[in-house]
Every structure is written in structure tokens, then in C-alpha cells.
């Protein structure tokens, strides 16, 4: 049984071409090529076609050489925005991402600490609404002058009041500097799936 079809055509004078049928399904086409079919069971994309998520996304970096205190969770001031598609990242005051679309977000955090010596551990942590939510990168007790804990986490954010921040922890024996090279220190998030 044929589907109802809406075809965005560029042939001739172009425009929308509709074909009616009694199937209860709607087929979306571009120049006669099926892109997706909408039926009572949901949306099915044609082979090789993608339904790209739209929603807030940001990427920020830090060129700070601030000192990271021993045995203290320290928020990193990711002050340089690479992009912020919906102005949801605060890069001047709170250094937090507060998306306006509810859904599941992938958050990436990477930092680099210098002069860490040979003791203790380091990790990056994702804070949600002001509290530690997940440790997303971990470097165990190793002898190294630099440590670069990196990780990503999926987190649900409600789209109105939830926010996330990036922290770092180190207990290598004393204060250590955050590397001042921006490509070594970044904080990112993007919508994977709307709620």
C-alpha cells in the first residue's frame, strides 16, 4: 500500500508535491528520494540518512595558570568560548553550563596539571547543581611531572534549573599549576537526546 508522500522537488518550477494514499503513513522525500517515513510506530530514517539532534552545545577552554591547591576540589575557570550555540555557558562569572533544553548531554572535561611530582592522585569531576556528580577522569599515583585527567559522562539536565561545572582534584603533596595552554584544558557539552 503506498504512503502519503510530501516531496520537496527541484524539478521544473520546484515546490512541494503531495501524493495522497490511505496508508496512515507519511513519507518525506527530497527530489523523489525517501528521507524518512512517519507512521504510528514512530519515525524511521531511510538507510544512510541521519536525524541530527539540535540543541545547546558549547566548548570552552582555559589558558589560566592558576594554582590548584592540595586535596581540594577546585572549579576551573574555562573563560574562552570556542562556541556557545544558545548562550547557555557562563564564561565570565560561574563557569557553568545551564541548558534550556531538557535532555541527555555528553559532557567532556580535560585539564593538564604541571609539576605534579610522584605522589597522590588527580581527577576531573563533573559537578551538577553545585554538588559532585561523577569523577570523569582519574590519574593514579604515578611518577610524572604532568598529569592530564580526561573523561566524558552522560548526564540528564532538566532544561530549566540544572547546571554543570568542571572541577579538578589533586593530592600530589602541594599546590600545582594548571597548564596555561588552552588546547590542554577544555570543557564541552552537547545534547545527545532530548527528554
Q: What domains lie within the chain, and their CATH numbers?
A: 4-45 (no CATH), 58-194 (2.60.120.40)
Query: Residue 33: beta bridge partners?
Result: 30
What pLDDT is recorded for position 125?
A: 95
What pLDDT is recorded for position 37?
A: 86
Q: Three-state SS for 159? A: coil
Residue where the block lists cell 592522585: 121
Residue-level pLDDT, tens digit, the chain, 195 residues: 578 888 888 887 777 878 888 888 888 888 888 888 888 888 888 887 766 667 899 999 999 888 999 999 999 999 999 999 999 999 999 999 999 999 999 999 999 988 877 778 889 999 999 999 999 877 776 666 788 888 999 999 999 999 999 999 998 888 989 998 899 999 999 999 888
Residue where the block lists cell 582519574: 138
pTM: 0.75
What are φ and ψ of residue 32, in 5° steps?
85, -5
Find all residues with CB under 8 Å of 195, minimum gap 6, and list them. Answer: 102, 103, 104, 156, 158, 159
Amino acid at each position: 500500500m503506498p504512503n502519503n508522500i510530501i516531496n520537496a522537488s527541484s524539478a521544473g518550477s520546484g515546490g512541494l508535491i503531495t501524493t495522497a494514499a490511505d496508508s496512515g503513513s507519511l513519507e518525506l522525500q527530497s527530489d523523489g528520494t525517501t528521507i524518512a517515513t512517519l507512521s504510528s510506530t514512530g519515525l524511521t530514517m531511510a538507510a544512510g540518512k541521519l536525524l541530527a539532534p539540535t540543541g545547546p552545545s558549547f566548548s570552552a577552554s582555559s589558558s589560566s595558570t592558576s594554582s590548584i591547591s592540595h586535596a581540594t576540589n577546585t572549579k576551573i575557570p574555562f573563560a574562552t568560548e570556542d562556541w556557545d550555540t544558545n548562550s547557555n555557558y557562563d564564561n565570565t562569572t560561574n563557569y557553568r553550563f545551564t541548558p534550556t533544553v531538557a535532555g541527555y548531554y555528553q559532557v567532556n572535561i580535560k585539564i593538564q596539571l604541571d609539576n605534579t611530582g610522584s605522589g597522590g592522585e588527580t581527577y576531573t569531576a563533573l559537578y551538577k547543581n553545585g554538588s559532585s556528580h561523577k569523577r570523569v577522569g582519574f590519574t593514579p599515583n604515578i611518577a610524572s611531572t604532568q598529569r592530564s585527567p580526561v573523561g566524558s559522562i552522560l548526564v540528564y539536565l532538566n532544561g530549566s534549573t540544572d547546571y554543570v561545572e568542571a572541577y579538578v582534584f589533586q593530592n600530589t603533596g602541594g599546590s600545582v599549576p594548571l597548564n596555561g595552554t588552552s588546547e590542554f584544558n577544555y570543557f564541552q557539552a552537547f545534547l545527545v537526546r532530548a527528554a
